[in-house]
């Protein structure tokens, strides 16, 4: 009988071989200690930690060791596994202040084993629902929970379900939107890979509530492990009768298919997603009609995000009231964020709604890597905005972030320090949206492109002060006249950086200066004659021969030839090259 599970993950991402080698050695150790029957060793896809080398998590004790070496294996087994002693030098203290709801099983259970899911209260919610709940009562319970869509817009989930239930037409569909695409966001991926059955259960409960008989997973093809895990989980469910006709001897019948996203960000937008499932070009369509009335193939459809669905079994298992105890008045429950950027502990965090942003950044994630000040935090991905340092006290929920000019979004959170240039950040996100615009709608397609051209000019030192007004003008037209969320929100990074960091834009335009030193074209490398020892290292290393002179007269950089590669500064041993 398995008593403990040991989860292994190479959080430094040095390559698959590192984990495999370590896993084999660990298994050998377990074998030598004759513990094979009691200890299960699992290579986890994601533990929510990053940059901690090899991480070993021992469950159910919830002991996490980081930077583990091969030489530590023996003492981990001897002390911790056999004697329950904790090795202080290896311990990575579990991040405090987190509440795991959506991620409750991630890393805790074997995602490929349905029995493990069932052992962790899996399908308890479903069997409750099928035995004791009317569909209306399920929707009521969801209403009590206050769950809002975790995909970004935060629409109350119960209202979606209720509208779909009220639609008379049959058949109805449930779609799980697993087309996660924000740069740096991987919350949904972790759940798909780490707890596939909870999403399936969530979909089943949704189907029961609205009266749907068919579901689709729309998963981006770039998540092969997620696709594989979901596919295997669906097969398993069918095998044991948890999908198909008369589930658990009830009158409820339901099955789910998988559709793969073909690499378009806009296909996360619900109308485009449905077009894609129907085999059409993935472009958004006007709403109304809303999918709950006329969705997939014109039939009533509920589209919920992965994280939303993962919350559903929890709510139906432990009660909507219990769920609603977490969070703020308008935003209930928890939210998973993928914290990345210049942050010490990057990774997934699941926090109660209403937590101060500061606590996520400093207490949970340990502040910036460099130790420099946080300049701003970007939330909501390419559709979001920045929250400047002075506003880090903001309590994170849907409405507060919106008031700050950003959005909750799907949960991307990028931390920037003083080495980051805000114009550059805006340019990065705009570039993403321009690349991902479906091209259907003129304000988004051309507006985004024109904004990007202006930002390019500004970061190249060719900006004009009138450009700021033009940026705002195009941004407003995109926000008001675009058809879908992608176009309406694409200018947000520009609007919010302009709002909080207009000075930086002006510096680029008027002073031709980038204070973060990010905008290469605005940099000037010069040789400080007083410090220069005339060693010629810079002269010989300059790849474009922009440095002229000789050992007697000293050296000079010809600015018209310099490509600002920084090689001269890098090779100079006397700090005689300045970068401004």
Partner 1 sequence: MTKVVQAQINGILIRVPEGTTILEAAKQVQIKIPVLCKHPDLPPEASCGICIVRIKGTNKMLRACCTPVENGMEIITHDPEIIEIRRTVIELILSNHPNDCLKCQRNNDCELQRLTADFGIHSESFPTFLRDIPKDYSTNAIDLDPVKCILCGRCVHVCQNQQNVWALSFLERGMQTRISPAGDIQLADSPCVRCGQCAAHCPTGAIVEKDDTGIVWNALQNKEKYCVVQMAPAVRASIGETFGQIGVNYTKKLYALLRRLGFKAVFDTSFGADITIMEEASEFEERLLKQTRPLPLITSCCPSWVDFMEKFHTDMIENFSSCKSPHEIIGVLSKTYYAEKFKIDPSKIFMVSIMPCTSKKYEIQRSSEMFASGFQDIDAVLCTRELGRMIKQAGIDFENLPEEQADSILGEYSGAGVIFGSTGGVMEAALRTAHYLITGRELEHVEFESVRGLERVKETEVEIDGMKIRVAIAHGLSSVEYVLEKIRQAKLNNTEIPYHLVEVMACPGGCVGGGGQPYMVTDELRVKRAKALYSDDKDKEIRFSHQNPYIKRLYEEYLGKPLGEKSERLLHTTYVPQPLYRK
Which residues contribute to the site for partner 1 (CB under 8 A)?
264, 266, 281, 283, 285-286, 288, 434-443, 445-450, 453, 470, 473-474, 476-477, 480-483
Contact 304, 381 (CB under 8 A): no
Contact 302, 161 (CB under 8 A): yes
Please, which residue, 358 or 445, has the CB nearer to partner 1?
445
Cα–Cα distance between 411 and 530 in angstroms, integer?
51
Query: Least separation, in Å, of the C-beta of 231 and partner 1?
Result: 28
Please, which residue, 268 or 333, has the CB nearer to partner 1?
268
Q: DSSP class of residue 71?
A: G
Which DSSP string do the residues of 132-159 spell out, in sequence order? Answer: H--HHHHHHHHHHHT-B-TTTT--BHHH
For the packed helices 224-240 and 187-194, what is the interaxial angle rounded to 10 degrees?
Answer: 40
Please, which residue, 410 or 488, has the CB nearer to partner 1?
488
- Angle, CA 548 vertex, CA 547 and CA 553 arms, to 5°: 125
Please, which residue, 15 or 439, has the CB nearer to partner 1?
439
Please, which residue, 108 or 474, has the CB nearer to partner 1?
474
Query: Least separation, in Å, of the C-beta of 199 and partner 1?
Result: 29
Query: Least separation, in Å, of the C-beta of 422 and partner 1?
Result: 23
How buried is residue 188: exposed, middle or buried, by Cβ count under 10 Å (0-12/13-18/19+)? buried
Residue 414, strand partner residues: 340, 378
Please, which residue, 453 or 559, has the CB nearer to partner 1?
453
- Angle, CA 26 vertex, CA 23 and CA 31 arms, to 5°: 125
Cα–Cα distance between 50 and 62 in angstroms, integer?
17
Query: Least separation, in Å, of the C-beta of 439 and partner 1?
Result: 3
Q: DSSP class of residue 5?
A: E
Query: Least separation, in Å, of the C-beta of 168 and partner 1?
Result: 15
Torsion of CA 140, 141, 142, 144, to 10 degrees: 90
Please, which residue, 145 or 167, has the CB nearer to partner 1?
167
Query: Least separation, in Å, of the C-beta of 152 and partner 1?
Result: 16
DSSP H or E stretch at residue 215: strand 214-220
Contact 337, 348 (CB under 8 A): yes
Query: Least separation, in Å, of the C-beta of 294 and partner 1?
Result: 12
Please, which residue, 318 or 449, has the CB nearer to partner 1?
449
Query: Least separation, in Å, of the C-beta of 198 and partner 1?
Result: 34
Query: Least separation, in Å, of the C-beta of 488 and partner 1?
Result: 8
Query: Least separation, in Å, of the C-beta of 477 and partner 1?
Result: 4
Please, which residue, 469 or 561, has the CB nearer to partner 1?
469
Please, which residue, 195 or 436, has the CB nearer to partner 1?
436
Helix (H), strand (E), coil (C) string for 153-209: CCCEHHHHHHHHHHCCCCCCEEEEEECCCCCCCCHHHHHHHHCHHHHHHHHHHHHHH
Contact 448, 488 (CB under 8 A): no
For the packed helices 187-194 and 196-210, what is the interaxial angle rounded to 10 degrees?
Answer: 100
Other C-beta atoms lying within 10 Å of the C-beta of residue 161: 26
């Amino acid at each position: 009988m398995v008593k403990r599970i040991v989860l292994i993950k190479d959080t430094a991402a040095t390559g698959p071989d590192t984990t495999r080698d370590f896993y084999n050695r660990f298994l050998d150790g377990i074998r030598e200690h004759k513990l094979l029957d009691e200890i299960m060793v699992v290579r986890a896809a994601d533990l929510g930690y990053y940059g901690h080398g090899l991480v070993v998590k021992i469950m159910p004790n919830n002991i996490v060791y980081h930077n583990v070496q091969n030489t530590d294996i023996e003492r981990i087994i001897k002390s911790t596994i056999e004697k329950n002693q904790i090795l202080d030098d290896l311990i990575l203290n579990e991040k405090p202040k987190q509440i795991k709801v959506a991620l409750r099983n991630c890393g805790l259970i074997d995602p490929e084993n349905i029995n493990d899911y069932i052992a962790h209260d899996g399908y308890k919610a479903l069997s409750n629902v099928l035995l004791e709940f009317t569909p209306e009562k399920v929707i009521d319970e969801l209403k009590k929970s206050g769950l809002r869509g975790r995909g970004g817009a935060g629409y109350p989930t119960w209202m979606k379900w209720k509208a779909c239930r009220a639609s008379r037409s049959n058949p109805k569909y449930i779609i799980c939107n697993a087309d996660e695409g924000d740069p740096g966001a991987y919350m949904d991926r972790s759940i798909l890979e780490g707890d596939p059955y909870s999403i399936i259960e969530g979909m089943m409960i949704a189907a029961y509530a609205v009266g749907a008989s068919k579901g689709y997973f729309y998963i981006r093809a770039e998540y092969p492990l997620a696709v594989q895990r979901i596919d295997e989980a669906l097969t398993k469910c069918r095998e044991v009768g948890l999908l198909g006709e008369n589930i658990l001897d009830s009158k409820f019948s339901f099955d789910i298919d998988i559709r793969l996203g073909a690499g378009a960000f806009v296909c996360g937008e619900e109308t485009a997603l449905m077009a894609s499932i129907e085999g059409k070009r993935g472009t958004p369509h006007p709403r109304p009609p809303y999918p709950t009335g006329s969705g997939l193939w014109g039939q009533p459809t509920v589209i919920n995000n992965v994280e939303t669905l993962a919350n559903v079994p929890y709510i139906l298992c432990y009660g909507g009231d219990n769920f609603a105890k977490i969070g703020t008045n308008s935003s209930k429950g928890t939210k998973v964020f993928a914290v990345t950027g210049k942050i010490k502990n990057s990774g997934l965090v699941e926090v109660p709604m209403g937590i101060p942003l500061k606590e996520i950044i400093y207490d949970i994630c340990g502040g910036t890597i460099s130790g420099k000040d946080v300049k701003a935090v970007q939330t909501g991905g390419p559709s979001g905005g920045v929250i400047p340092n002075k506003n880090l006290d903001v309590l994170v929920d849907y409405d507060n972030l919106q008031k700050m000019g950003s959005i909750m979004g799907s949960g991307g959170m990028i931390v920037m320090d003083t080495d980051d240039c805000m114009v550059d950040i805006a340019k990065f996100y705009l570039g993403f949206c321009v690349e991902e615009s479906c091209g259907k709608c003129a304000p988004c397609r051309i507006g985004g492109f024109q904004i990007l051209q202006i930002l390019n000019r500004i970061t190249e030192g060719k900006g004009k002060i009138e450009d700021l007004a033009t940026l705002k003008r195009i941004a407003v037209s995109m926000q008001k006249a675009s058809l879908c969320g992608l176009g309406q929100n694409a200018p947000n990074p520009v609007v919010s950086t302009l709002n909080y960091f207009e000075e930086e834009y002006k510096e680029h335009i008027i002073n031709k200066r980038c204070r973060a030193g990010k905008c290469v074209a605005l940099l000037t490398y010069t040789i400080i004659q007083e410090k220069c020892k005339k060693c010629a290292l810079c002269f010989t290393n300059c790849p474009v021969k922009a440095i002229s002179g000789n050992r007697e007269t000293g050296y000079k950089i010809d600015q018209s030839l310099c490509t600002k590669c920084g090689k001269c500064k890098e090779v100079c041993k006397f700090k005689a090259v300045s970068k401004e």
